[in-house]
Chain A
């Protein structure tokens, strides 16, 4: 038996062992947030499981080399598959934590078996003091290699899924290789080799498909505990909870926090509602969470609220998810509500009825598809569907963080022929937030605000329309379908803050 090669084996398995631990810890912090808790529990659980493994090793009495190789292959399988399987579990099931700690225990236990068994294999060939010294030296060296290369190379270059599969493969190859190293003391080397080869192939296949697996939300980081996650064909919807309330994310972008969403939605809805000639027929574009609808339904004159949101998963959540239903006051169950799951641009283009108020509450223009909903092309359709004395309002990102983007929305609305009234409100979860109110013509009389509001009041309402110097208007281009300048402005401005 070649001892140098065996010590290299120790180095590799030690590296793999620590990498799995880091993968699971990182993954738990990515998906569940609160990295201190996640890393503490994962590391603690893993070390504990290694202790279980070491303890269990005493029950293995015969065929130790055989067991060793089998354990290598087991670690390769579980460790290699851990990242993709945990991502899938998170995306598709509700048992993520069970799977997380289950895999920590299983991998830890197997890894804990490795070194004791190896020591026993080598005990007759190396002096005890040399054996312990050398095995542990390589073990700790491997740990160092893993802990340095993981954050600096593997996560940025390969991502978690492929790193996991790659080390699984490495582990399987070590298993295969050790069937030769340990050949003199193995009872059935061929059988083990077949298993090792099949396992390696499986991991290679996974590695080739790794790209697709990686697309699962790996890049998202949530600060709070994730309590609900669904992937619809359109987007990934995640609800997180903290002590103070819950938050909703679409594709990793915060949509609202229950703590201060009333500020956002009151400011979105009421300035338009109190300026429109009538408020009988109201159209909401986007806003599938039903929170804008809640504000609209405060007005007894409202007869019809039509909510157009592309994603049935979003409006489904707003109708069925307990906490959200409580927050939107069962808005979607109101007999005046009509939910239409279709493309807002198509909806405006194909219909002909006029609306007294139109509330446009789309996600920010962070890609070309969403950018279309902020172009003169879209606003011309909007104008055609707004009643002569109607008012529309458009959520228009932050005039502080994305000043040019905000004024680009205003400028574009003007270019589409609207009279505009830009304003802003402070929503702590988002920061200073902007809206543009539009009508066919200027002079709009205003009715009093509803009485029961928490944010807006008659006294302070006027302050919304004043822009401090750092948010003041500046010259920008018109956002058109054929230039999409807003997407570029937006990307440039927000990248400075993120």
Chain B
């Protein structure tokens, strides 16, 4: 329990806002709690790093390349290396499942995501993500205008989004019902601004806002936007419509885990401008699978020879030296010490972990470390015996609560090839703890136990679906302490992020989405491939770049 003094209503208000608390408590009836559990565990394992010195193995296993971390960045590195024919590769992961924040689960009803659940369809037919999508048979061709086209069954089926507001569901994400002419005019002005940012290119032909962010123009005309917050930019530009502010805030919470007050204007605009080129949002919007980006993880894993990936291995020290690195680890289950002598290492973990692991950084804390902030998230998978009943616009893929601090839920079975939309399903509920003090938010997340989270998830759901408790079969909750790096003002174009991207002594290379400043698949994949290509160079292998 969070605290004995907190009533259920106060708890709901503290995490989800007072509107949900009022609604949930108005409808509160005594009910059996939904059976389930907390399923996170990395919290305990990872904290070992901060404890006392860990044992070191006497003998070090030689290996050409060691990839530390089997999240999207690490697996992308392994994928790139496998394609280049590098055989002696080992990937070690501290969790018992690979995938990082793109992990997924499965039960008798459906597969479902534990984190990232979609990939915006790439705008141009280039880069490593397109290569991966081709391997996955997701690409059907290129249209007359040069845009890649994708398999219909993987693009989000209509209805894509709906929003719940005061008792009814409405189509789309922007709350059009009851919007005044002034609201709509402001929305149109905002969209025109974003389209202009989407179309903007610098003298070298680079998009002002590109995916991945590394391909964006570094012209001060746009990078200057990184100095202030998105909230201040909206204010300065005269965007005051509460509905528009809500939409922008929602976008920031969705992609960056914090509000427009906590995100730089450059990053805020990036969300609306990077995935289009001036013609507005595309109909080939998002690619998704029941297990979310777990499908992409599976595809990456398939390229890595079996046996190269080792789970439950906690790397606690990487010492770069002449001609390679010494890497020390312990097996998470048995506590048995392990060591590797690797010619090349890709350290594919976030900065706050790297700072504890890289030996020279343990001696001298890198200057850039403080610039990296990570927001916590809670993701819950709720299995239902039947589709939730609702009033107004029908069930969509993404179902958003206008008045809650949660992002709402995604329906895992939405893409199923069937007409009948009844029957059991799994809903994935997302809550970014968006408060500006990420550390305090993390405390809050970790101090709440299953009973609290069960109450919170069901309170949030019941506001929109009063009968949902009777349909609920099981609830599993994942608390992510450091789910997403936050693109706070000054971070995207400040020196820290670039300094952290530098390899150490041509033998230790870094990869992770946090180096891109945004916790997105494309960033993780980009930095994974980039690190692998540095490894190839270090091994003296020539290979054309995929970047």
Contact = CB atoms under 8 A, between A and B. Distances in A.
B422 interface: yes
Nearest to B154: A482
Contacts of A481: 152-153, 155, 157-158
Contacts of A367: 394
Contacts of A487: 158
B419 A373 contact: yes
Interface in B408-423: 417-422
A372 B414 CA distance: 12
B158 A368 contact: yes
Contacts of B331: none
Interface in B154-184: 155-160
A344 interface: yes
B283 interface: yes
Interface string A355-376: 0000000000001111111011
Interface string B263-284: 0000000000000000000011
A483 B422 contact: no
Given A369-B421, A482-B284, 11 more contacts: A234-B420, A310-B420, A346-B419, A349-B418, A369-B419, A372-B157, A381-B417, A480-B152, A482-B152, A482-B285, A484-B159
- Counting from the closest, the 6 A-B pairs by CB-CB distance are A484-B158, A482-B155, A481-B157, A343-B418, A346-B418, A343-B420
A381 B152 CA distance: 12
A417 interface: no
Interface residues of B, number: 19
29 contacts: A211-B391, A233-B422, A234-B420, A343-B418, A343-B420, A344-B419, A345-B418, A346-B417, A346-B418, A349-B417, A349-B418, A369-B419, A369-B420, A370-B419, A371-B158, A377-B152, A377-B157, A480-B152, A480-B155, A481-B152, A481-B157, A482-B152, A482-B156, A482-B157, A482-B283, A482-B284, A483-B158, A483-B283, A487-B158
Interface in A230-268: 233-234
A310 B420 CA distance: 8
Interface of A: 211, 233-234, 310, 343-346, 349, 367-373, 375-377, 380-381, 480-484, 487
Contacts of B153: 377, 481
A211 B420 CA distance: 24
Interface in B394-451: 394, 417-422
A233 B420 CA distance: 11
A381 B418 CA distance: 11
A371 B284 CA distance: 18
A373 B391 CA distance: 24
Contacts of A345: 417-419
B122 to A, nearest CB: 15
Contacts, number: 60
Contacts of A380: 152
A346 B419 CA distance: 8
A71 B364 CA distance: 90
Contact of A372 (B156, B285, B419): B419
Nearest to A367: B394
Given A368-B394, A376-B152, A377-B152, A482 B418 contact: no
A52 B431 CA distance: 65
B197 to A, nearest CB: 25
Nearest to A376: B152
Q: Which of B158, B421, B422 has the most CB of A within 10 A?
A: B158
Contacts of B391: 211
B152 A375 contact: yes
Contacts of B157: 372, 377, 481-482, 484
Interface string B466-480: 000000000000000
Main secondary structure of the interface of B (DSSP, over half): loop
A385 to B, nearest CB: 13
Contacts of B418: 343, 345-346, 349
B226 to A, nearest CB: 34
Interface of B: 152-153, 155-160, 283-285, 391, 394, 417-422
A377 B154 CA distance: 10
Contacts of B422: 233
Nearest to B287: A482
B133 to A, nearest CB: 16
Most buried by A among B285, B394, B419: B419
Interface centre among B285, B391, B418, B422 (most CB of A within 10 A): B418
A418 to B, nearest CB: 15
A240 B156 CA distance: 40
A146 to B, nearest CB: 29
Nearest to A484: B158
Contacts of B419: 310, 343-346, 369-370, 372-373
Contacts of A310: 419-420
Nearest to B285: A482
A10 to B, nearest CB: 37
Nearest to B286: A482
Nearest to B421: A369
Residue of B153, B156, B285, B391 with most partner-chain A CB within 10 A: B153
Contacts of B284: 482
B323 to A, nearest CB: 52
A487 B159 CA distance: 11
Contacts of B421: 369
A211 B467 CA distance: 13
A419 B17 CA distance: 56
B161 to A, nearest CB: 12
Contacts of A372: 157, 419
A251 to B, nearest CB: 14
Contacts of B285: 482
Contacts of B420: 234, 310, 343, 346, 369
Contacts of B283: 482-483
B86 to A, nearest CB: 38
Contacts of A375: 152
By CB atoms of chain B within 10 A, which of A343, A482, A484 has the most?
A482
Contacts of B159: 368, 484
Contacts of A368: 158-159, 394
Contacts of A211: 391
A344 B419 CA distance: 7
Nearest to A344: B419
B396 to A, nearest CB: 9
Nearest to A485: B158
A433 to B, nearest CB: 22
A371 B394 CA distance: 13
Scoring A370, A372, A376 by chain B CB atoms within 10 A of each residue's CB, the highest score goes to A372
B158 A482 contact: yes
Nearest to A480: B152
Contacts of A349: 417-418
B167 to A, nearest CB: 10
A487 B394 CA distance: 13
Nearest to A342: B420
A367 B419 CA distance: 11
A368 B171 CA distance: 12
Nearest to B393: A368
B414 to A, nearest CB: 10
Contacts of B394: 367-368
Nearest to B395: A368
Nearest to B420: A343
Nearest to B423: A343
A372 B152 CA distance: 12
B64 to A, nearest CB: 43
B353 to A, nearest CB: 38
A343 B419 CA distance: 6
Contacts of A370: 419
A299 to B, nearest CB: 29
Contacts of A233: 422
A290 to B, nearest CB: 20
A235 to B, nearest CB: 11
B278 to A, nearest CB: 21
A372 B421 CA distance: 11
B290 to A, nearest CB: 15
A206 B257 CA distance: 43
